[in-house]
A and B are shown apart, each in its own frame.
Chain A
Amino acid sequence: MRFLILLVTCSVLLTSCKKENRQTAVSINKSEGTEEIISYAKGFSITNYEDYKKVVVNSAWPNSNKIFTYLLVNKGKKRPKHDNNTKIIEIPIKTLVAVSTTNISILDYLGVGNSLIGFPNTKYICSEKARKRVDNGDIKELGNDLELNIELLLELNPEMVLGFSVNGVNKKLDQIEKLGIPVVLDGAWTEQHPLGRSEWIKFVAAFYNKEKEADSIFKTIEANYLKAKEAAKNIVRKPTVMSGSTFKDIWSVPGGKSFIAKYLEDANTDYLWKENDSNGSIQLNFENVLEKAQNAELWIGSGNFDTKKEMLYEHKGYAFFDAYKNNNVYTYTEKKGAKGGLFYYELGTLRPDLILKDFIKIAHPELLNDYELFFFKRLK
């Protein structure tokens, strides 16, 4: 569910080398199909055939060497021949259970929010449309994402569960499969490029036959992103940036190949850990971070805090940093849902253009005069 926390606050997705020896799934008359153009995302592919689509997810969790193949067959059409590892999903989907708020914004953008009938931890939902449906009882509360309430799920009997897996160990999802409800894994969060994460809207759209809409939404987001990146490119002065926060004695810092580092690079800043080659986050001790980042000009993404005082309460050492002293701490708590969920987690995956603009506004305010920070705010 809030799996972006994974990457933004404290996640360890160690390993830097992607395995190249992917097993190839059994292809079904590949020659007749046309492949959708996917520009940034590396984790999925869509091939269209006459009566069905083949969707392949090859990066359901970091370094997964398991390939998931789904055949999306239009309702009423004949099912193509397939092997045991291939799942058949009848589309367009009318009823869905999702477990991650990132899917809420995608469903909203595609105009299919009404298909969502169950969700765990509904308190994290921010979108007003979806909140209204929760309050009306149209979206059922299903408990915790790791321990979905199976009885309620069986009673809802959705056509599909859109889930995710942190590491492939997912007993609950296996159980749901065995009970006859197809589970599809979303791997958007494993992408290294911010636009790659956003592009997974095409993946969700395939289940609704909404590819056209997804394509035009994504094109707009991509254009905005590239335009902002282009504008920042020529600024000469790059402010130094630190990121992350400490929990107990371990400081989680976005790795140099992580998507956060990519944002910082595209915003034309000097990220202090850009040389590091981890694509997740790195665990450092406090001294280590202090030594390197004490004089950093900006601190972007300091965790889930609303005020500097809150930060100090968590760890008194935060006060030693120049960025803290000079009120240059920014984090993603600007917009919250009615029940306290963060828009950054819900919408951030789909709208990297807004995150990039926030970063540029923070680092080079002169570039975006009439832009207001969207996800981020300066902590006071």
Chain B
Amino acid sequence: MPETKTYKLSFTVLILVLLLCFCANISLGSVFIPFQDVFNGLIGNPTGNASWQHIIHEYRLPKALTAIIVGSGLGISGLLMQTLFRNPLAGPFVLGITSGSSLGVALVIMGASLFGGAFAGIFVSKWSIVIAASLGSFTVLLFVLIISNKVRDTMAILIIGLMFGSITTATVSVLSYFSSAEELQQYIFWGFGSIGNLTWHELFIFFIIYVIGILMSLVSIKALNTLLLGENYAKSLGLNIRTSRLFIIIATSLLAGTITAFAGPIVFIGLAIPHMTRQIFNTSNHKILLPAVFLFGAIVMLICDSIAQLPSSDLTLPINAITSLIGAPVIIWLLVRKRKMVF
């Protein structure tokens, strides 16, 4: 194990990179705004153009903060899942939480086609998508919790989560089949993920739930490290497996469920960031991994969003395309270079 000092250096560098990416993200976008004005806009001084102030304050700043929350939250929930299931392929999606959200949203957007207009009327509000996604993920989570209380084996929970995913996916495809082109487009666009459509008020609510999730995962660090040794060994060390497992699942679901509700199903980050962090830090100690994943997740998401904005062009790309396009090759390269996986 390297000394803690090197980690201090690594963390200092990571924090600096995060700040740099944050500034870069706010400076780049479809509309070109000189850096001087970006800085003025951030500290509340007048900018060269009234609409710039608006763009920075009401659009870019919430977007950058959302990117940080989404990246760090998904990274951490992926790390928790991979450790809990001792499976390098696990991510926040495996419990079926995201599929649950998708089902909720599909019902709101496309349900009217199948169940008639009255159904749609119930849901129409500014919050309908968020509420539906949260309800969806929460319902699936509830099932998973009930089952994890009954089922001893962690692997079995994993399989059951995947099954839930299949059921919801199938239901969504039935809904899609009977919906209009416009509704389908709406749903597909939701599936692309979007971090640029939160207002300050929504961001605030998002942030509160996220903080609870993060705190819960911080509390679980010790349990996570013990779980790495295997469930039986952890038991002999006096860890209450059932309680810890419940705690970790709730933390994950809070993070993944809320993020999916507010930003759509953002792919890849949850699976890949923990691997990236392990390869670079070469440790499996969660005391180090957790904060490192937090920083990496936030940095990667900010970079992906900056690229997705295609600075100075009128186009923007869906964030999900970028996360995988940029992220996957990086992971492949890391694994090939190291010739083995740190897990």
Contacts and interface: CB of A to CB of B under 8 A. Distances in A.
A171 interface: yes
B336 to A, nearest CB: 36
B197 A154 contact: no
A147 B120 CA distance: 22
Interface stretch (A85-93, A172-180, A255-263): A172-180
Interface stretch (B122-130, B164-172, B225-233): B122-130
A313 B71 CA distance: 45
Contact of B59 (A66, A146, A154): A154
A178 B58 CA distance: 9
B316 A175 contact: no
A63 B51 contact: no
Interface stretch (A2-10, A108-116, A211-219, A316-324): A2-10
A13 B126 CA distance: 22
Q: Which of B51, B124, B128, B186 has the most CB of A within 10 A?
A: B124
Contact of B185 (A143, A146, A157, A179): A146
Interface string A77-116: 0000000000000000000000000000000000000000
Interface string A1-33: 001011001111111000000000000000000
A150 interface: yes
Nearest to A63: B117
B314 A149 contact: yes
A249 to B, nearest CB: 9
Interface string B108-138: 1100111011101101101011000000000
B199 A178 contact: yes
B183 interface: yes
Contacts of A5: 181-182
A262 B186 CA distance: 29
B112 A14 contact: yes
B117 A14 contact: yes
Contact of A150 (B59, B178, B185): B59
Nearest to B194: A147
Contact of B199 (A6, A15, A175): A175
B314 A143 contact: yes
A140 B189 CA distance: 22
A14 B123 CA distance: 17
Contacts of B118: 15, 63
Interface in B183-215: 183, 185-186, 189, 194, 196-197, 199
Contact of B316 (A140, A143, A169, A180): A143
Given A147-B194, A150-B59, A172-B197, A62 B177 contact: no
A168 interface: yes
B55 A154 contact: yes
Given A147-B194, A169-B129, A171-B129, A6 B182 contact: yes
B31 A155 contact: yes
A149 B316 contact: yes
B96 interface: no
A152 interface: yes
B51 A154 contact: yes
A209 B121 CA distance: 33
A64 B30 CA distance: 35
A166 B181 CA distance: 10
B120 A167 contact: yes
A10 B181 contact: yes
Contact of B186 (A150, A166, A175): A166
Nearest to A281: B180
B117 to A, nearest CB: 3
B95 to A, nearest CB: 26
A151 B55 contact: yes
A376 to B, nearest CB: 21
Contacts of A152: 30-31, 314
Given A146-B185, A169-B109, A169-B128, A12 B178 contact: yes
Contacts of B120: 63, 167-168
A168 B118 CA distance: 13
Interface in B82-121: 108-109, 112-114, 116-118, 120-121
Interface residues of B, number: 42
A151 B25 CA distance: 14
B180 A10 contact: yes
Contact of B29 (A66, A144, A151, A169): A151
A235 interface: no
Contacts of B117: 13-15, 62-63
Interface string B6-32: 000000000000000000000001110
Contacts of A172: 197
A15 B59 contact: no
Given A15-B117, A155-B31, A179-B58, A283 B129 contact: no
Contacts of B60: 151
A307 interface: no
Contact of B181 (A6, A144, A149): A6
Given A12-B113, A65-B121, A168-B120, A175 B314 contact: no
Interface in B287-333: 314-316
Contacts of B129: 169, 171
A334 interface: no
A130 B197 CA distance: 29
24 contacts: A3-B182, A10-B180, A11-B181, A12-B113, A13-B117, A13-B180, A63-B118, A143-B316, A150-B197, A151-B30, A152-B31, A154-B54, A154-B59, A155-B31, A155-B55, A166-B180, A168-B124, A169-B129, A174-B126, A175-B197, A175-B199, A179-B54, A180-B54, A283-B178
- Ordered nearest first, which 3 A-B pairs have the shortest CB separation? A63-B117, A168-B124, A11-B180
Given A15-B116, A151-B31, A151-B60, 13 more contacts: A11-B181, A12-B179, A12-B180, A14-B114, A142-B314, A146-B185, A147-B194, A154-B54, A157-B51, A166-B182, A167-B112, A169-B124, A179-B59
